[in-house]
Amino acid sequence: MARSGTFDQGTRARELFDAGKSCNAIARELGFSPSTISRWAKREGVSFDRAKTVEAVAAHRIDRALIRADIIDRMYLRSQKVLTRLEADTFTYRVPTQFGSDLVSDEDPPAGDEKNLAAALGIYTDKATRLELVDSDAGESGARSMLADLGQMLGLADVPTV
């Protein structure tokens, strides 16, 4: 919890700063607000190096993109397995009888199984496609370009292209 009053831990703050701690990390450790630590740093003539933060954020984004790519690959592989099951030549399953169950082979899966497999296939491919969009480059510029093209098709004058 942040304290109010006089900042009297300049020596400890300097040790933490010299150890490479961020403004927020120093504030948490000393129990002051980040703005108090920023004012202290300004008085002391030191500034927090944002390059390390920028590098860490960039590395974190790359890590997350790699994780998403792995998940996408695995979802497509799972989709392929589900589709293979759905397109099998024969389906063997048990049906309940008066005295237990009988083993049945059929060209088509039971309706409930087909529905579940088709739903799983749709979910896997939909989620994989959505994850692919996270790392795609279309984003805002793609939307602006589409709107500009639409405006030109409608004959609107001076529609900027992106």
pLDDT tens-digit profile, the chain (162 residues): 455 445 677 888 888 888 888 888 899 999 999 898 888 888 888 887 777 667 778 888 889 999 999 999 999 999 999 999 999 999 998 989 999 999 999 998 889 999 999 999 999 999 999 999 888 765 555 556 666 666 666 666 555 554
Question: Phi first, then psi: what are they for 47, rounded to 5°?
Answer: -135, 150
Nearest to 106 by CA among 119, 93, 124: 93
- Give how far Cα 31 sits from Cα of 1, 34, 49, 50, Å: 6, 9, 21, 22
Contact (CB, 8 A) for 76 and 124 = yes
Give the integer Cα–Cα distance in Å for 146 and 78: 33
Whole-model pTM above 0.75?
no
Tokens of 137: 């480059």
